[in-house]
Structure 1
């Protein structure tokens, strides 16, 4: 009876927060903790300081995570790619802002008694990544006088601007959207632009003009001439509405004149960022336009290119020639390069030869369309060559790329993070890592058959200073007659690596063998691991119970974050509950309500 009365009281307080908000600090921490799930996002935001003072911030983050799930109906798919340390409040309010701005949800269904303007104002300051789908009018609304205060908040908070359907921007009625882009890029804090679908040449030139270094010729005439070369087909802008500025050809305005043309409230005397765009993420049909403009992007630090269709050898050759011109300029800032859906078997060798100063390189290389392999260029470095690479990501099934890979590792002594996927003959580079890359901290291997590389894996662990190791979908136990023959020495080696704090064995079909992994915490010198990922391993409730019994017996001294998502634990809810109960004193458990009986996703993922 008492618990029912407390529950009713909590609901009553939540429904009358507009009157009772000032009394919230007087509540005991236990009652406030129970109240949190019943509050809407507006009041969750307002009582954050009180929650911190009462030391229930963790509970508040859990509630924000639940709110985020309520907003995102596809949260199960997204959750797999998110980290446990996500700022759930920021993610939730960012999602809320987009839903309300694009009118994908009625405010009344989300926050009662609040206007749309109030919701946008509350959430705008939490938007770090702003996504505008240009086919929808939501982004244009930010240019209206009523929404200018919200746009001002976005200028301070937004770091990344993502434009979808960018090729539609210069169509009739989008002059307001140009104003929004101008405010965010030229007067705001945006440093990264993501363009999905190849934009109109004029828009592309206008945005990438902000990638030019401070050493460019800063005259309107040269800027106009350069812009006209790439945007001669741009249409005139049409006037839309009484407050909308009339914009003639976009390519004619690349400096402070844009301010007075777009709005009398926008002037060059305001804060104006020169060379503001430091990162470009482009989805392109071809590399032609990028190659033409690339040599002038002196202030660009990070470039990510992905082909909507395969980027073939001849296009890549033109891009490499332009990249060489850029890198020969002493003011070149490019240190992070990523290319995806590329078909060029010498790309790894070519890029590192052109720019040995790259700190980060990511390549996704596809085989030639006709599967013919031409004689490749062997990567030949001088003996004293030292690459600046700190992060390397490589996905390629081309044999010649794989053969060049050890040579890259041998000349990259500063390498700290390595991601490799899809490569055959893993034994060719595993030994090289321990010998040539002593600073390696993060190693992520995915979709690689390591079934014949057990000795190399153990040798690497015993001769490294790794802090994070991920062996995802590596068929570790595929050909093991006795799975213990590998898992026992593997666990012993991991226990001996005191620097290792994160281990992922996702998608290896460990099943019952996951029990052996609990021995990481056995003995006087247990593993220092604080994050263990056993997701998508077809672990059944009975297997988890045995795992939990060992953990309970070993009693790890450090609290463990244990990822058990996408395992068929729903097959026996009672046993699952018993296992989780044993783990909770020692683990923060990541689990889900995944229904293994209604989907084949887990089965396919671990085949």
Structure 2
């Protein structure tokens, strides 16, 4: 609105509340130039229209963006009627087009409502703004919606800015929909002549203009392929003969699982090696051809055999005519040397199944044992014209159960997903399929340009000891910077032998290590080994770690003090640390920790007075600690009062965030703490959390204490009913 630029600020300030959201959004820059803020107006719109409060755990930095992003999603899903409010309704503007530019995280729910209604103009705006795609509570949809979703994904990922894809809370995944999302996220795209992509056409035209200036391949190189194949290629892609067609990859049209993936190398000698194009590289690796038995009694087995032979004949010439750097010709066609009954030894690879002869283990095809009929369409063929485009950098699969076949499909993608930097897998019900993931990551680590630096995996049950899994992953990825493993139970009953004990951890580049251990006592030697090998560690989180004796935990704390000098953030949760007083004081005196969390560790259960004095004295002399979380440690009134000495004028303490939740603190203790802080003058404490304490015992005194603290820092409290909580605790004992 250029005409508003010249208005005086006082006039503009009076106009702002009268505008609808479309003009209010357009006038934003003019208001900023006048020194005016529209944040309060957008906040009021949020309260009036959305009728919900933002989470108290998050800070809203821009109400304008927050409102318009939520507005877009509500209009898209049809749960907000813009005609019901004159502030939202204007015939001169499109609600979706106008708000799409503010959507940085696009969330698609249920049956993908509204996806089919996204116009090219809306997609154009989304392609410039969306960086994260989130799929929540997905359900099966019709073919028309899936086609629209396919184009949406292609536009936002392959020709857009999307870096992260998350699939959340999908207890019963639609296998075709899952394949669609994962395939496009990994960069695969099968062009369709019926609905061409304008961006792909532009790229093709640009590529063709460059190819015309390049030298054609030698004729003899093309004669190694069949004339029928070359005729087909020439008829469909005349120019691709000059430039080297991109590799046959994924088609999103579901076919029988037995018709693809398994490469028949029966025509090759067992010792023969063929050049294999490495994804993202112009170099070739040697891949040993292995004989693989063809699945029998399956529909279309003859066609599958022909397809596999064509793939092999193509591999003879791919090193010559397929010269694109993104060549992935054998992306899906490598056959892991294992059968479905194989078991992974974390040090030596796959053990032979008891039902298999040793000589047959390496020749079992990947899909020899077919999944149920409803899952056989998960893998697709790879016709000419399938290409690899831009792929996302982060993938999050949370509460998305993976069957054997869907897990194998994901593993095929992972094996060459070189752009993937962060992989998060949580509650996928992997079971023994975890070995497939480890094998795929091992293959990925050998790809030039591999970018994976953060890996997180959690589930209810693990089929391999947690530290053994950590050792294998770090051996595969010594440059990994973040490793997070979280399990509740272990499902392995074999007694550990000397042959199964993992080797010592080798030096790595870890900066963040997070492990939630199962209930079983952990081998302290392995834990100490990984700590000593992780000299660059900045963050360490240990949850539910159980030790055979107190000396084991003392050794861990001594190791941290001696070998992990770079550590900045330390978190211990649900661990018995009652008798670790001298070790904790040593750690505080010898480290440069900035954030310390001891939650539900029974820290002050015994020897409170002597330990409290030493604990507080160590923190008073430590200027590096900024955040201290002591929730659930039986601190009590005396402990909280002692912590007030951290802010005496002669203290070097720099703690600005203090969490003393769930510490049996009563109103009189909180009041005494508040009075001591008032006498300290201006202090560095900015945030105090006192939730789930016994403040309901005397509400009047508690209110007095809270009022005193309000002038000192920001206080987070609650209306916790301690009597009801105690009754609930007793009822479940």
Q: Is the CA contact 1:68–1:91 (under 8 Å) kept in the aligned structure 2?
A: no
SS across alignment from 1:444:
strand
Asked if residue 391 in structure 1 is aligned to residue 366 in structure 2, the reply is no
Q: 1:69 to 1:561 in 2, by over 3 A?
A: farther
Q: 1:53 to 1:256 in 2, by over 3 A?
A: farther
When the two chains are superposed, the root-mean-square deviation of aligned CA atoms in Å is 4.6
* Equivalent residue number for residue 285 of structure 1: 402
Return the alpha-carbon distance in structure 2 between the equivalents of residues 23 and 598 of structure 1: 61
Asked if residue 532 in structure 1 is aligned to residue 658 in structure 2, the reply is yes
Q: Is the CA contact 1:423–1:448 (under 8 Å) kept in the aligned structure 2?
A: yes
* Equivalent residue number for residue 442 of structure 1: 569
Q: Look at both structures and tell me which one has the larger radius of gyration over its CA atoms.
A: 2
* Equivalent residue number for residue 326 of structure 2: none
* Equivalent residue number for residue 447 of structure 2: 329
TM alignment of 1:257-296, pairs within 5 A: 274-282=389-397, 283-286=400-403, 287-296=407-416
* Equivalent residue number for residue 647 of structure 2: 521
Deviation (angstroms), 1:109:
7.3
SS across alignment from 2:592:
coil
* Equivalent residue number for residue 710 of structure 2: 584
TM alignment of 1:217-228, pairs within 5 A: 219-220=245-246, 222-224=248-250
* Equivalent residue number for residue 140 of structure 2: 168
Aligned counterpart for 1:562 among listed residues 688, 709, 713: 688
* Equivalent residue number for residue 489 of structure 1: 614
Q: 1:174 to 1:318 in 2, by over 3 A?
A: closer
Q: 1:90 to 1:399 in 2, by over 3 A?
A: farther
Return the alpha-carbon distance in structure 1 between the equivalents of residues 141 and 25 of structure 2: 35
Deviation (angstroms), 1:206:
6.1
Aligned counterpart for 2:113 among listed residues 137, 148, 173: 137
Structure 1, 160-169 or 354-363: larger mean CA deviation:
160-169
SS across alignment from 1:97:
helix
Deviation (angstroms), 1:503:
1.4
Asked if residue 308 in structure 1 is aligned to residue 428 in structure 2, the reply is yes
Q: 1:604 to 1:465 in 2, by over 3 A?
A: farther
Question: Residue deviations 1:140-186, cap 9 Å, x none?
Answer: 332xx3xx444333222221111134562565543222222222112
Structure 1, 365-374 or 574-583: larger mean CA deviation:
365-374
Return the alpha-carbon distance in structure 1 between the equivalents of residues 482 and 540 of structure 2: 10
Q: Is the CA contact 1:210–1:277 (under 8 Å) kept in the aligned structure 2?
A: yes
Aligned counterpart for 2:437 among listed residues 319, 324, 329: 319
Q: Is the CA contact 1:284–1:305 (under 8 Å) kept in the aligned structure 2?
A: no
Deviation (angstroms), 1:375:
4.2
* Equivalent residue number for residue 679 of structure 2: 553
Question: Residue deviations 1:493-524, cap 9 Å, x none?
Answer: 12222111111122334342323222210241
Return the alpha-carbon distance in structure 2 between the equivalents of residues 454 and 47 of structure 1: 61
Q: Is the CA contact 2:110–2:136 (under 8 Å) kept in the aligned structure 1?
A: yes
* Equivalent residue number for residue 350 of structure 1: 472
Q: Which has the higher contact order (CA 8 A, sep 6+)?
A: 2
Return the alpha-carbon distance in structure 2 between the equivalents of residues 27 and 139 of structure 1: 41
Q: 1:171 to 1:427 in 2, by over 3 A?
A: farther
Return the alpha-carbon distance in structure 1 between the equivalents of residues 714 and 384 of structure 2: 53
Return the alpha-carbon distance in structure 1 between the equivalents of residues 684 and 428 of structure 2: 46
Q: 1:191 to 1:51 in 2, by over 3 A?
A: same
Return the alpha-carbon distance in structure 1 between the equivalents of residues 86 and 626 of structure 2: 41
SS across alignment from 1:367:
strand
Q: Is the CA contact 1:205–1:230 (under 8 Å) kept in the aligned structure 2?
A: no
Question: Residue deviations 1:461-483, cap 9 Å, x none?
Answer: 11111111112222223x32x53
* Equivalent residue number for residue 298 of structure 1: 418
Structure 1, 120-129 or 285-294: larger mean CA deviation:
120-129
Q: 1:318 to 1:252 in 2, by over 3 A?
A: closer
Return the alpha-carbon distance in structure 2 between the equivalents of residues 567 and 88 of structure 1: 33
* Equivalent residue number for residue 325 of structure 2: none
SS across alignment from 2:490:
coil
Return the alpha-carbon distance in structure 1 between the equivalents of residues 157 and 515 of structure 2: 32
Return the alpha-carbon distance in structure 1 between the equivalents of residues 664 and 36 of structure 2: 35
Q: 1:379 to 1:433 in 2, by over 3 A?
A: farther
* Equivalent residue number for residue 359 of structure 1: 481
Return the alpha-carbon distance in structure 2 between the equivalents of residues 558 and 56 of structure 1: 32
TM-score by length of 2: 0.62
Structure 1, 169-178 or 38-47: larger mean CA deviation:
38-47
* Equivalent residue number for residue 76 of structure 2: 101
* Equivalent residue number for residue 462 of structure 1: 589
Q: 1:404 to 1:106 in 2, by over 3 A?
A: farther
TM alignment of 1:241-256, pairs within 5 A: none
TM alignment of 1:114-263, pairs within 5 A: 114=89, 120=96, 123-142=99-118, 145=119, 148-166=120-138, 168=140, 171=143, 173-196=145-168, 197=170, 198=173, 200-201=175-176, 203-204=178-179, 207-208=182-183, 210-211=185-186, 219-220=245-246, 222-224=248-250
Q: Is the CA contact 1:97–1:123 (under 8 Å) kept in the aligned structure 2?
A: yes
Deviation (angstroms), 1:545:
2.0
* Equivalent residue number for residue 405 of structure 1: 527
Q: Is the CA contact 2:641–2:669 (under 8 Å) kept in the aligned structure 1?
A: yes
TM alignment of 1:417-456, pairs within 5 A: 417-425=539-547, 426-456=553-583
- Where in structure 1 are there 5+ consecutive unaligned residues? 1-19, 235-248, 259-272
